[in-house]
Amino acid sequence: MMTYRFKFSKGEEIKFIGHLDIVQAFQRSIKRADLPIAYSNGFNPHQQIDFASPLSLGYVSEGEYGDLKLTQDLEPKEVMERLNAVLPDGMVIKELIRRRDGVKNTMASVSAGRYKAYLDSRITPKMVEENLENYFALKEIIVMKKTKKNFKETDIKPDIFQLINASEGESAIIEMVIAAGSTRNLKPESVAEGFYNFVGVEYNKFKIGFKRMDIYMVIDEKLVPLTYGVEF
Amino acid sequence: MKNAIPDEILLQVEKPARYVGREVNMVKKDPENVDIRFAFCFPDVYEVGMSHLGLQILYYFLNRREDTYCERVFSPWTDLEEKMRENNIPLFALESQEPLRKFDFVGFTLQYELCYTNLINMLDMSNIPVLSCDRTDDDPIIICGGSCAYNPEPLADFVDIFYLGEGEVLYDQILDMYKAHKKAGGSKAEFLESLLELDGLYMPKFYDVSYKENGEIESFKPNHPKARKTIKKVIVTDMDNVFYPEKQLVPLIEVVHDRVTLELFRGCIRGCRFCQAGFVYRPVREKTAPTLLEQAKNLVKCSGHEEISLISLSTSDFTCFPELANGLLDEFKDKLVNISLPSLRIDAFSIELMEKVQEVRKSSLTFAAEAGTQRLRNVVNKNLTEEVILDGCKLAFDGGWTKVKMYFMLGLPTETEEDLRGIGALTDKIVEKFFEIPKENRPKPVTVNASASCFVPKPFTPFQWDAQDTYESFGEKARIAKRSITRKQVRFTYHNTKMSSLEGVMARGDRRIGAVIYKAWENGCRYDGWTDKFNWEGWTNAFEETGVDPAFYANRVRSYDEILPWDHISVGVSRQFLINEREKALRAEVTPNCRQECSNCGAKTFGGGVCYDDIQV
């Protein structure tokens, strides 16, 4: 048995495929690649593969993570190549390592995420440059957050760790590091919404593109990628 | 490649993945580098269309030609239609995301009558004139196939070519001819004329129809010297060597059937008298087990599916079934691939087999009894006795099954109240059978789900002359059947009676129904087969506005000498055979199946299949 941790990207081609379908697509790819995947015991055996954090529909990503377990110890390079040959368009494994035992699974490890928000043309790079610092300096940032039943005013400021003006040419881009995981979780959409409110432009989430850049865990009080220090 | 629909819109509609393509095993070609562009349209939503075997076969069949790019098109769901119309976005094909107007052929598969308004809607959304007579040489050629094409008349005003039969036979020839014609700069009218050489193609423009005062057809005649009087379907005779795809499109979202589909044979030996498929797909033509095992291995490997489904009209009648089933079990038992076995007759062999393939989860057991009494089962030639049903249930209950599904039909010819009450009597007996097994051997309480559909007389069946019940009458009959059930373990449901009524009109409609379909579409009817979208008022208004009486088509008995709208089409089965079958039905006499005895239906003229097998004794 060998567990592997992998990092993959999710491109434009596949951004409308939701999390459960991505899991299914991975499972079928493993079968097509004919990899010796380990199965769980029990009445309904399922492939031993799990993922760090679901990505919202419509988002692209350069930093998705998962673990998978094989019944044989194959070379990581081979596993990665065999999978990349059969994964659907837009899904590419960038990194795959043997993972040592005794490490928390990816989902339990998640503490933060790095995202880019591609704002619509009503916001110029100049507006970002002039306002982002002041926005981040606010004592509290109140946005309406959806709860199970209705909307509630919430202060998202404590969950924002870093905001960067990442604009390129004519397009206004905000890069952010924000809380993610089971204890604290913030949607990048809320950060964008807060910024639109701050600069007084009506917010429409359908006009904004989002990309996850990476997912982090905390090791020695530092945010590090999920592949950091887990290699076998 | 850019999506036809901007992200901003895709993010606001249900399941945007329906509209972006790029599934596993999708064929990629440069549209600029092909001679022929073919849009394969399925006039229903993505998840339904992607589960259709015919699409999978023809997609790869057409794309195996280097000169042709076959792309897929599904009916956009109503939420996207609204946005596309608002933003003037024309309907597009998934592969290239390009509008349909650019294509040479726009082909539709007609699987059920209640998709006709979707076909009109898809043409309209493509900015292609809906009526054939309004289209020019710049518009694509509209071609339709599928089981509903056997009565093409309701769509005659909208479609250029109806393809009668199996796609593998003629498409190469049609496309070769088209390519040559296009290179020579010929017009569309000339191309259609040249197709008159081929059998199996019905082009409505070459035929004129006139009507009597009482509404019946007076004459139906070719208006072109080369147009055939009768057009005969074309079929594959050698199933082992016919093209079958080595790949299968694997959707990235959940669809109705997420599995490998393996086609065992075409046609059916049974001849149930209500079943159109049982007559129009004759004769039975089988593949051999080694061919199927090879195809199964291949398809599982290149799809990554965890389930393989054996497809046919009656799987238990497959002559190599034990060999195939055991071969599949050997191959897939350790690979965690499930084998799904629809259309099984319940007997000792199939129970044993089902126990092998589904060791843990016991699905439900299905019997298509169709009628509540033996008399009525004989009328429809359903070779299934109460004894067989109860014995099958006993075997299954002993094996640990506790769920039984029963299919019935309401409104079959000669049906009486006694037949309807027979539904309750039979389902009650099944429950009693369950209580015969010792209490300690019952893992769960038994449930019997009895579901009734409303009988729709179909062309090319012995009941093509019969009257269909009105929807009011269906409702009354459903109530009688329901009241006849006394056991609380039996749950009874029945199909939407108004939808069945409409299906009855479409199924045996003539050219005059085209105007009604068009009007209904104008009235906003779409997705007529979807209970939540079904717009009865839109349809009743359409009948009123066009002055067409639906009862003339649905609820009227025809005489044997009346010209039926589909009489210019031959499926091989003779009219005389259908008449004989109807007369036998009225006398509640059964007809043996094709392997017991040849009844000379006429399908032997195709020169293959079961008609030439040695008759088993």
Please measure the distance between the N-terminal and C-terminal CA atoms of chain B and give it in whole angstroms.
Answer: 61
> Contacts of residue B305 in chain A, CB cutoff 8 Å?
28, 31
The confidence score (pLDDT) of residue B615 equals 56
Check if the beta carbon of residue A58 is closer than 8 Å to that of residue B7.
yes
CA distance B188 to B72: 23
> Contacts of residue A89 in chain B, CB cutoff 8 Å?
22
Torsion of CA B401, B405, B406, B408, to 10 degrees: -170
CA distance A125 to A167: 6
CA distance B283 to B271: 11
Which of A190, A192, A182, A200 has the alpha carbon at shortest distance from A155? A190
Place of tokens 């694997």: B250
The phi and psi torsions of B612 (rounded to 5 degrees) equal -110, 5
Residue B27, classed as helix, strand or coil, is: coil
Check if the beta carbon of residue B509 is closer than 8 Å to that of residue B565.
yes
* pLDDT over 80 (residue A81): yes
Residues of B with CB under 8 A from a CB of A: 7-8, 10-12, 16-17, 20, 22-24, 250, 252-254, 300-306, 336, 360-361
Pairing state between β B161-163 and B141-145: parallel
Count the neighbouring beta carbons within 10 Å of the beta carbon of residue B440. 6
Q: In what order do the strands lie in the sheet with B338-340?
A: B260-263, B307-311, B338-340
| Mean pLDDT over each residue of chain B, to the nearest integer | 94
What would the pLDDT profile of B466-498 be if each residue is shown by its tens digit? 999 999 999 999 999 999 999 999 999 999 999
Please give the radius of gyration of chain A, using alpha carbons only, rounded to the nearest integer. Answer: 19
CA distance B234 to B375: 36
The confidence score (pLDDT) of residue B500 equals 97
Count the neighbouring beta carbons within 10 Å of the beta carbon of residue B130. 18
Residue B222, classed as helix, strand or coil, is: strand
Give A88 to chain B, closest Cα distance, Å: 6
Element (H, E) at B545: helix B536-546
CATH of domain A2-109: 3.30.70.580
Give A18 to chain B, closest Cα distance, Å: 8
Check if the beta carbon of residue B140 is closer than 8 Å to that of residue B106.
yes
The confidence score (pLDDT) of residue B348 equals 74
Would the CB atoms of A43 and B361 count as touching at under 8 Å? yes
Which of B338, B149, B150 has the alpha carbon at shortest distance from B258? B338
* pLDDT over 90 (residue A194): yes
Pairing state between β B68-74 and B141-145: unpaired
Least confident of B45-49, B213-217, B338-342, B381-385: B338-342
Q: ipTM score here?
A: 0.94
Tokens (6 digits) for B197 = 């050489």
Give the range with max mean pLDDT: A153-157, B368-372, B512-516, B612-616. Answer: B512-516
Show Cβ contacts of residue B446 under 8 Å, excluding neighbours closer than 6 positions.
Answer: B397, B402, B403, B404, B430, B431, B434, B489
Which of B191, B181, B184, B182 has the alpha carbon at shortest distance from B160? B191
The confidence score (pLDDT) of residue B617 equals 45
Which residues sit opposite B143 in a β-bridge? Answer: B107, B161
CB-nearest partner of A16 from B16, B303, B361? B16
Tokens (6 digits) for A129 = 């440059």
- Interior angle at CA B299, CA B295 and CA B301, nearest 5: 120
Show Cβ contacts of residue A137 under 8 Å, excluding neighbours closer than 6 positions.
Answer: none
Would the CB atoms of B20 and A43 count as touching at under 8 Å? no
Element (H, E) at A199: helix A188-199
Give B87 to chain A, closest Cα distance, Å: 16
What average pLDDT score do residues B453-461 get?
98
CA distance B96 to B39: 11
Written as one letter, the residue type at B371 is A
Would the CB atoms of A58 and B252 count as touching at under 8 Å? no
* pLDDT over 90 (residue B353): no
Handedness of CA B294, B296, B298, B301 (dihedral sign): negative
Tokens (6 digits) for A117 = 């928000």
What average pLDDT score do residues B218-246 get?
96
CA distance A187 to B324: 53
| Mean pLDDT over each residue of chain A, to the nearest integer | 94
The confidence score (pLDDT) of residue B358 equals 66
Would the CB atoms of B253 and A29 count as touching at under 8 Å? no
CA distance A184 to A178: 9
> Contacts of residue A86 in chain B, CB cutoff 8 Å?
24, 304
Give B73 to chain A, closest Cα distance, Å: 18
CA distance B240 to B202: 28
Place of tokens 């989430």: A205
What pTM value is reported for the model? 0.95
Check if the beta carbon of residue B503 is closer than 8 Å to that of residue B468.
no
Count the neighbouring beta carbons within 10 Å of the beta carbon of residue A133. 11
* pLDDT over 60 (residue B361): no
What average pLDDT score do residues A93-118 get?
94
Residue B15, classed as helix, strand or coil, is: coil
Check if the beta carbon of residue B494 is closer than 8 Å to that of residue B475.
no
Which residues sit opposite B70 in a β-bridge? Answer: B38
* pLDDT over 50 (residue B457): yes
Task: Express as a percent the part of chain A with pLDDT over 70.
Answer: 100
* pLDDT over 80 (residue B355): no
